[in-house]
Amino acid sequence: MAAAAGSPPEAKRNNNKPLREYTAAEVNDHSTETDCWLIIHCYVYDVTPLLSTHPGGELVLLSVAGLDASDEFDEAFHPPYVAKTDMQRYLVGRLKEE
């Protein structure tokens, strides 16, 4: 699984330490209103704090909670810089290749 061009740099979290890797099953455990994670282009984001302020509404995020939301993210016409900049604060890791 290759990361898309708009994906964040490999080590951008925790003072440039390598990102923690999560399996898809581990991400899927975070699929509620109080614990909402997404996979976007092989990166894992905890978007729980974004639920109440997301321009598309919380249901857009909750409908893909715990899942790979790459297609939905791209289809919503997010500019490439969104994953690199705006989403950076929600980055918790990357998807472990299985």
Strand partners of residue 43: 40, 94
Q: Which domains occur in the chain, in start order? A: 21-95 (3.10.120.10)
pLDDT tens, residue by residue, 13-40: 556 778 999 999 999 999 999 999 999 9
Region label for 30, one of left (φ > 0), alpha (ψ between -120 and 50) or beta (otherwise): beta
Please tell me the pTM assigned to this model.
0.82
pLDDT at 23: 97
Average pLDDT, the chain: 84
